[in-house]
Amino acid sequence: MNKIRKVAVLGSGTMGTGIAAHLANAGIASCLLDVVPRELLPAEKDRGLDESSPAFRNRIAENNKAMLLKGKSSGLMDKKDASLITVGNMEDNLDWLGECDWIVEVVTENLAVKKSVLKKIVPFVKPGTIVSSNTSSMSINEIAEDMSPEFRRYWLGTHFFNPVRYMRLLEIIPGRDTLPEVAGAMARFGETVLGKGIVWAKDTPAFVANRLGNYTNHDGLKLAAELGLSMEEVDAVCGSAIGRPATGVFALYDLAGLDIGVASVAGIHRGIQDPEEKKLFAMPGFCYEMMKRGLLGNKTGAGFYKRVGKEKLALDLDTFEYRPLKEVRFDSLDAAKKARTLPEKLTAFFEGDDKAAEFVWKYISRLFLYAAAKIPEVSDNILNLDRGLCWGYNHSKGPFGLWDGLDLEKYINRMEREGGAVPLWVKEMLAAGIRSFYKSEGGRDYYYSIPDKGYLPVPVPEGILSLRNLTESGAVMSGRAGTLWDIGDGVLCLEMKRGAVLTPELLEFIKAAQAELAARWNGMVICSSGANFGSGLDLDALGAKIQQEDWEGIDRFLAQAQAVFRNSKYSAKPVVMAVSGQTKDGACEMAMQSTAVQALAETYMGIAPIAAGLVPSFGGLREIVLKSAARLEGTTASPIDMIGPYFQNMISGAVSGSAKEAKRLGYLRESDGITLNPDLLLSDAKNRVLRLCREGSAAGKSTVPAPGQTALALLKAGVMQMMEAGIASEHDYKVAWKIVDVMAGGQVVRESPITEEYLDSLEREAFLRLCREPKTQERVAQLKKTGKPLRN
């Protein structure tokens, strides 16, 4: 198959624009086409436009593209990438399709409209071009039934989930005539270029994720009515207590829009042929009454819930009047909240005897029975069904994975006693002595394969390196702070167990890993065991030392951290940080001091010292001074021009919205790598190490000219004005003053040569002085207690 270099997106609504934006995130150019507007707007007439003007004819796509540049939660990781999206219309610009390697139809969910679009584009599609539909529920085969056999060989469904940038799922739905190599090429492109998790679906109503997701959400509404539970009670038990998002059931409908939820369920209801299954997708009458009243959820300001000022109210489904929220109290819920693991949480409900326990048991077991009965109708294996709900609906476990760690046979017997229709394949599995749908063995993950009547290895796409698949024999050393793995080719991987929560124990472990690296390895990757790289400072430990007035102990710890991180930066063998998720404060400072960084696209970096009333003291201010000095060389700019943006970001608490933005903020280098697929982050980081080994990577220590107090005086003046305007407190100003003092180089004369060690000593001195301040101590205590900053 040809490499996909350019894409045409037909339809610029929410999904079409989202797909174009995510293509831009991956560096792929696209043309975004929509229909020509029906008539000129008064404002367009005032501008002298007529119906032949491109500004009029492209208005719909242009306006939708413009929406990408508004707001913080944009589909674009870097707004400058909007230049990769060219807008047009489906009358004047269809000749652009000849330049495209993939065309994705994202027009309205109307069969006649979709068919007409395909017929319209045929003359402009070059042979061998992949054409797909992003339909969420319509038959892939039916949409293309009027097209030629040759067209249908390159036709399939590619169903993204909204918002496209953030939702990992991409369903691939081959048609009857789709060439296997076409479906495979799209899956590889989605996985390796767009960073998606691929679920293979069959051409059945709503495919996989929406079939199961709509079933379980809709079943939650019905079950609440059956058991007489309030919506706030249902949402309380259907969140993190059972491994689901905090939105639960009713609040999820408010978030997505009740009209969308009803339309999705209605589409499945129409597509299903079995009368008994149709009954499962009959929406309760109160949903239609709410739609009649315009109570659609967040987008109309009222749905199952609404806010009046700071108070949240719930809808009474009998009177359709809003009432105060009821207190939710169940013994089973309390036990589940106290439990540490998901199996323990589910056991608290399954073995409970109150209404919440009854609800959760029926809710989970009914989803399981429905999902088990849909194999092989909607997809061939349990992996696709579990991944569909995890990647498309943010469930922590799918309907089969939920039973890991539980007594499956006991609960299957309970389902049968209660009249549940347990599929034959589940009974055969248990009869064969298999008690779990998944297992891990010898460093490999396995799933139960129904046709094979036994376990098969979970397929691992080419290029993926997972620490989960390493055995204990691959551990070079291990401790409470982390594990040092041999990941092949002479490369180590230091996996931090709590992320970059900086403790003396972690620093000692990193130091030992550095010694091991120097002795007999080629390079090292440092990563976190969780989704977030880390936040840095251990506030509990710091608070204890402040209370003990152990100033020397704090200074020793800071000096140790600075030395360890400098060792990574100046290692003779490359050290690559594989960062992801929240990478803030000390963790951000740590990442800045590496040979290179390989960042997951969704990495949020920043240094926000004001919240704790402290200055960055793990080498971050030193690195800012060094970066600024390097950028100043050969220019007529002033130190404040380079240091000022860093300072503004620090005092405002700015955190990047993506790895691309982290480059713009200066926390990542332009040369640092970005990975879109989290499964590929570790292998990309390892490959970066190997490339650096070939190219050479050792850096030399720097002596730089001090910026000087006078050059940075405007920064202090700016914070003074913020304080006088009531935007910053007096203590904010004191912290900001200390930050400027360090970055100025202390009290030395401007352009005096200063060393990195000298800057480190200034960081520690400022940190210790602020630790003695009562208001800093209050801020640290508040962050420890609530996680929220105190602006005293």
Indicate the helix (H) or strand (E) that contains 622: helix 620-632
Buried b (16+ CB within 10 A) or exposed e, 88-121: bbbeebbebbeebbbbbbbbeeeeeebbebbeeb
Give the largest CA-CA distance in the chain: 85
Is residue 385 within 8 Å of residue 212, measured between CB atoms? Answer: yes
| Type of residue at 315 | L
Report yes or no on 145 lying in a domain. Answer: yes
Residues 377, 352 share a domain: yes
**How confident is the model at residue 593, as a pLDDT?**
95
289: its two tokens: 């009454």
Show the domain range for 163. Answer: 6-200
Q: Rounded to whole angstroms, how far apart are CA atoms 709 and 690?
A: 43
Residues 674, 726 share a domain: no
Q: Of 412, 427, 455, which marks where a domain is finished?
A: 412
Residues 614, 604 share a domain: no
Report yes or no on 544 lying in a domain. Answer: yes
Report yes or no on 133 lying in a domain. Answer: yes
Report yes or no on 20 lying in a domain. Answer: yes
| Type of residue at 652 | S
**How confident is the model at residue 792, as a pLDDT?**
84
Calculate helix-pair angle for 774-786, 730-744, nearest 10 degrees. Answer: 100
**How confident is the model at residue 609, as a pLDDT?**
87
Residues 487, 363 share a domain: no
Report yes or no on 455 lying in a domain. Answer: no
CATH code of the domain in which 484 resides: 3.90.226.10
Low-confidence ranges of the chain (pLDDT < 70): 1, 71-73, 472, 698
> Residue 564: which residues within 8 A CB-CB, separation 6 or more?
507, 510, 511, 514
Residues 77, 37 share a domain: yes
**How confident is the model at residue 423, as a pLDDT?**
97
- Token pair 């050290």 in the structure block, residue: 575
130: its two tokens: 């992949």
CATH code of the domain in which 85 resides: 3.40.50.720
Would you call 257 helix, strand, or coil by DSSP? coil
**How confident is the model at residue 441, as a pLDDT?**
87
Indicate the helix (H) or strand (E) that contains 102: strand 102-105
Q: Of 389, 412, 435, which marks where a domain is finished?
A: 412
Supply the Cα-derived Rg of the chain in whole angstroms.
29
Is residue 681 within 8 Å of residue 465, measured between CB atoms? Answer: no
DSSP 750: T
Residues 613, 542 share a domain: no
Nearest residue to 91 via CA among 68, 69, 59, 67: 59
Q: Are strands 703-705 and 753-755 parallel, antiparallel or unpaired?
A: antiparallel
Q: Of 176, 200, 224, which marks where a domain is finished?
A: 200
Residues 478, 379 share a domain: no
Residues 669, 643 share a domain: no
- Token pair 């903020």 in the structure block, residue: 665
Q: Model's pTM, two decimal places?
A: 0.93
Sign of CA dihedral 440, 445, 447, 449: negative
Report yes or no on 323 lying in a domain. Answer: yes
Q: Rounded to whole angstroms, how far apart are CA atoms 708 and 746?
A: 8
Would you call 71 helix, strand, or coil by DSSP? coil
Q: Rounded to whole angstroms, how far apart are CA atoms 665 and 642?
A: 11
Sign of CA dihedral 12, 18, 23, 25: positive
pLDDT in tens, 46-105: 999 999 999 999 999 999 999 998 866 689 999 999 999 999 999 999 999 999 999 999
**How confident is the model at residue 71, as a pLDDT?**
66
**How confident is the model at residue 306, as a pLDDT?**
95
**How confident is the model at residue 632, as a pLDDT?**
87
Q: Rounded to whole angstroms, how far apart are CA atoms 537 and 503?
A: 8
**Cis peptide bond upstream of 163, omega within 30:** yes
> Residue 484: which residues within 8 A CB-CB, separation 6 or more?
475, 476, 477, 478, 492, 493, 494, 495, 509, 512, 513, 516
The count of other CB atoms within 10 Å of the CB of residue 431 is 9
The CA-CA-CA angle for residues 207, 388, 114, to 5°, reads 35
Is residue 468 within 8 Å of residue 506, measured between CB atoms? Answer: no
Calculate helix-pair angle for 774-786, 756-771, nearest 10 degrees. Answer: 90
**How confident is the model at residue 692, as a pLDDT?**
95
Task: Tell me how long the chain is.
Answer: 792
Residues 619, 509 share a domain: no
Report yes or no on 425 lying in a domain. Answer: no
Report yes or no on 248 lying in a domain. Answer: yes
Residues 192, 286 share a domain: no
- List, as one string, the DSSP characters of 458-471: PP--TT---GGG--
Residues 166, 81 share a domain: yes
pLDDT in tens, 232-254: 999 999 999 999 999 999 999 99
Q: Please tell me the total count of domains within the chain.
A: 4
Residues 389, 314 share a domain: yes
